Structure 1
Amino acid sequence: MNKKLILKALALTFSLSLFSPLTMASSAETSKSKTETSAQSLPNIVAESAITVDLETGEVIYSKDADSKRYPASTTKLLTGLLLSESKQKTDQLEYTKTAKEQPEYSLNLNYMHNTMQPGDKVLADDIMKGLLLFSGNDTAYVIADNVAGDSKSFSELMNKKAKELGANNSNFITPNGLHDPNHYTTAYDLSLITKAAFANDWERDTMALEKAPITLKNSKIILENRNLTLGKNGNIGGKTGTTNEAGGCLATVYERDGRKIIGVVLKSRQIDNADMTKFNDMDAIMNYSYSANKEIYKSNGESVGTAEVKYKPFVVLGPTKTIAVPVKLTQDVNYYKNDINDEESKITFNGTDSSAWDLLFNKNTKLTYSTRNHNEEVTGTVALSFGDLIKDNLLIYISTIVILAIIITLVLLIKNMAANSRRRKKRSYYNRSNRRR
């Protein structure tokens, strides 16, 4: 009895020793998973709306209420500058206008020229662009509006037309400088599209990258400083600031780290004064998150992603054209950046095929498309189709065909048999007649 107890104890100890490494490994995996989750924890920001987008692929990496309507303040001037660059040359002379002189600070006229600018004064277009994007002069935006479209109302129509062309469909622009109007609004996502277009424009991109720049007004040389306070730091290579009481602190930027560019937008952050760094800290936080973000699995290898309608003929090349619904499965993991936009809009679609179901029995690989907002990529899949599926789909036709063939064969055999019997009767009749004549 004691020997049996000892043997059982030894067996139990041995079993525990076998399973303990697995338990430790499982514990280590859990710890690792927690660490990775912690590393991917969302940034804590003040801004009420924010987004980051991979400039090259268009993928949304981070999103916080990015489709809600917000006031953009002076980030509006990215769109204003884009329209200037598309209608004028750097060396063009623009006329300083009455509506430009009426604008409040911050303006070149009030803050630098002590209200000495007069309607009719000539200003170089490139200097106006610098005054718009570096100093964020409210008067420079109206110089652009009046010189490009004749007046601000006509210019707002151009702004809204351009916004729609860029895909910014949830925006409406009234003023060229972004000063508050209840009907002047955008979204973080829309502003990211405008920022991308502005950055793609050589004139705007080069201007946004300047930390300081000289301009000339009424024969006076002025040095403008960029109000993008983190330009050149942490990867910030260009952008536009904005603030009003209603809009709060706003910032639209492009960052570059290790050759990768990401667009960032924060709207309705805190802005106590011009030295308040909250919106810049918000931007750094979402950029740090975005550059370290890892994609997660959206759909796994082998997972079903729907059905495909495939055409074929029951007898390969003969018979009526039929359609069979076959399951489609992935042959790879599909990864994505997890955020509210991608969670809602991600999908995998079958691209269709010209191959018949018979062909797919021997080559089941097919191309699928993973798509989400402003991004799509090709992924691989397979159609889960078997010979038995085609037999089952045409069972009635095949049975009917077999029955008809059996009837035909039976009839042919009967006819042949009847013909043979007829020939035999004729031969017997002939022999009988011959014998009687003898």
Structure 2
Amino acid sequence: MGRLYAKSKITLLLIISLVISIFNINKTFAVSQAPWPKCPSIKAKSAVVMDITTGTVLVSKNATKKWYPASTTKVMTALLAIEKAKSLDETVEFTKEAINASEPGSSSIGMTPGEKLSLRECLYGLMLASANEVANAIAIHTAGSIEDFADMMNEKAKELGCVNTHFKNPSGLYEKDHYTCPEDLAKIAREAIKMDDFREIAGTRTHVIPETNLMKEKRPVSNTNQLFNPVKFPQYGYEYCYAGKTGYTNEARFNLVSFSKKGAMDVVCVIMNAESKDVQYTNTKKLVDYAFKRFRMLQTDKIPLKLNESGGKTYTNIIENDPSAEFTVSGVAALAVPKKCDINGVITEIKENDLKAIQAGKNYIGSVDYRYGGECIGSADIVYTSTRAYSFEKNEVIPKVVPEESKEKKLNYFAVGMIVVSVLIILCLVWYLLVYRRPSNIARRRYRRKKRRINSRNRLKW
């Protein structure tokens, strides 16, 4: 009996463990969202790591705090110069205004009034040597004056969604009202790196600026970002970094923009207000390594669109005319999500265009926002490719949509039901194994059954 009772206890423990495991699996299914990784400890005052593909902020510290950006400003200067130019072979003439607007002793390649360079060569001097007189010359060439170029910078920043940014000059030299924040600077850098010319120039380690109309000597320049051009400080070399821009003034301290790619992940890291070169480089490597370790790219074609739940007229009309219609997404092929993220954790929000007819070929019927943990992590266009053109009927039947709140409530009821069932199962098992199967109770039941059989036989005899 003692052995049987001991075995019963072991069996009970195993069954309870199994029930708890099942409950945990159900809980995981119900939540299906891994927590967003937190920023590791760094010494820099502010930082951001942003996914270049979608613009999702992966890791951040004081991401919206305003700081002086120093020469990282020149990322915006280069972006606008390339965007506004008809050709990078345009000739830029250096005026007295451009030379005099640069502080004596600040970064320079020694240009003098009257010298001429192609815009392309100016961009090498801007991004590699961080020459301030070159930034001013580019601004005057592009907008007519430094002030007008600053206005263009602010307009572009607003267009990119920057809300904590205001530029006063194209070089980044200190001015009280010249500031930005890590998240805004990452948005600017993300836009710039999409340009082939910017990517090529910002990713160049060394370059030789040719002789000019007034200078017969060539000017060699070298990229100052030691992560991918570790000439002066080999210890800071980082194999995944392929481009970047440094920035320093006494007021701004050390600032760094770096682009890094590993496998399918392509990110930009912004460090602001670091106390030393060592901090800006080591913190960048730490944050980017962390992002590569904790995030992965999830293909959007694996995420169900669930258009049948959107309640839109366009989808309904298409299905009525083409029951075998297939829908794809265009614009973003992958999303950056935590590595432990389950595909069910990504929520889609559909916005349909109100179309009256379908054309043969590709039709953009709407867009989809992908959300994770309440934040938008990417957007894409919804495409329907038709073999024929047709118009929609006037009377459309809009499918009934289950509100998000109702879905959440159903999910909660399901979870509560599972908890109740699990508790009842455990209580029944406890009663069966510890009460019903108790040796004394088993003996008592056997005695009662034996007594009933004896009484039954006696009654039959009588």
Q: Please tell me the TM-score bracket, short chain as reference.
A: 0.5 to 0.7
The answer to whether residue 182 in structure 2 is matched with residue 185 in structure 1 is no
The answer to whether residue 281 in structure 2 is matched with residue 280 in structure 1 is yes
Is the 1:81–1:129 contact (alpha carbons within 8 Å) kept by the matching residues of 2? yes
C-alpha distance in 1 between matches for 2:14 and 2:193: 62
Q: Deviations over 1:374-401 (max 9, x none)?
A: 723699xx9449xxxxxxxxxxxxxxxx
Per-residue deviation at 1:279? 0.8
Matched residue SS, 2:50: strand
Is the 1:40–1:289 contact (alpha carbons within 8 Å) kept by the matching residues of 2? no
Show the counterpart of 2:165. 171
Show the counterpart of 1:44. 41
C-alpha distance in 2 between matches for 1:10 and 1:107: 81
Residue identity in the other structure for 1:248:
R
Give the TM-score normalised by structure 2: 0.58
Distance 1:174 1:374, change over 3 A: farther
The answer to whether residue 52 in structure 2 is matched with residue 55 in structure 1 is yes
C-alpha distance in 2 between matches for 1:279 and 1:186: 17
Matched residue SS, 2:379: strand
The answer to whether residue 79 in structure 2 is matched with residue 82 in structure 1 is yes
Is the 2:370–2:377 contact (alpha carbons within 8 Å) kept by the matching residues of 1? no
Show the counterpart of 1:211. 205
Is the 2:157–2:188 contact (alpha carbons within 8 Å) kept by the matching residues of 1? yes
C-alpha distance in 2 between matches for 1:123 and 1:10: 89
C-alpha distance in 2 between matches for 1:165 and 1:21: 55
Per-residue deviation at 1:353? 11
Distance 1:179 1:9, change over 3 A: same
Show the counterpart of 1:100. 98
Show the counterpart of 2:154. 160
The answer to whether residue 242 in structure 2 is matched with residue 237 in structure 1 is yes
C-alpha distance in 2 between matches for 1:377 and 1:159: 28
Per-residue deviation at 1:350? 6.2
**How do residues 311-322 of structure 1 correspond to structure 2 at under 5 angstroms?**
none
Show the counterpart of 2:274. 269
Is the 2:368–2:379 contact (alpha carbons within 8 Å) kept by the matching residues of 1? no
Distance 1:81 1:19, change over 3 A: same
Matched residue SS, 2:58: strand
Matched residue SS, 1:148: helix
Show the counterpart of 1:131. 125
Matched residue SS, 1:123: strand
Give the TM-score normalised by structure 1: 0.61
C-alpha distance in 2 between matches for 1:310 and 1:174: 47
**How do residues 6-405 of structure 1 correspond to structure 2 at under 5 angstroms?**
7-16=4-13, 42-88=39-85, 89-102=87-100, 103-104=102-103, 105-109=105-109, 113=110, 117-217=111-211, 218-231=215-228, 233-271=238-276, 276-294=277-295, 337=337, 349=349, 351=351, 369-371=369-371, 372-373=375-376, 375-376=378-379, 383-384=401-402
C-alpha distance in 2 between matches for 1:353 and 1:176: 41
C-alpha distance in 2 between matches for 1:21 and 1:374: 36
Is the 1:251–1:279 contact (alpha carbons within 8 Å) kept by the matching residues of 2? yes
Per-residue deviation at 1:170? 2.4
Per-residue deviation at 1:14? 4.5
Q: Deviations over 1:234-292 (max 9, x none)?
A: 31111111111221211112211114311221111123xxxx23212111111111111
Unaligned 5+ residue runs, structure 1?
A: 28-36, 296-300, 302-306, 312-334, 339-345, 355-366, 386-438
Matched residue SS, 1:130: helix
Matched residue SS, 1:51: strand
Residue identity in the other structure for 2:274:
S
Is the 1:55–1:261 contact (alpha carbons within 8 Å) kept by the matching residues of 2? yes
Residue identity in the other structure for 2:88:
K
Is the 1:93–1:123 contact (alpha carbons within 8 Å) kept by the matching residues of 2? yes
Per-residue deviation at 1:309? 8.9
Show the counterpart of 1:34. none
Per-residue deviation at 1:336? 7.8
Per-residue deviation at 1:183? 0.6
Q: Deviations over 1:128-183 (max 9, x none)?
A: 11110001111111111122222211111111112222222321100110011111
Matched residue SS, 2:192: helix
Distance 1:255 1:159, change over 3 A: same
Matched residue SS, 1:50: strand
Residue identity in the other structure for 2:180:
T
C-alpha distance in 2 between matches for 1:13 and 1:256: 53
C-alpha distance in 2 between matches for 1:204 and 1:370: 29
Distance 1:235 1:353, change over 3 A: closer
Q: How many residues align?
A: 311
Per-residue deviation at 1:199? 0.9
Residue identity in the other structure for 2:216:
N
Per-residue deviation at 1:58? 2.3
Per-residue deviation at 1:6? 5.5
C-alpha distance in 2 between matches for 1:100 and 1:377: 43
Show the counterpart of 2:418. none
Per-residue deviation at 1:126? 1.8
Unaligned 5+ residue runs, structure 2?
A: 25-33, 230-237, 297-302, 304-308, 314-334, 339-345, 355-366, 383-399, 404-462
Per-residue deviation at 1:97? 1.8
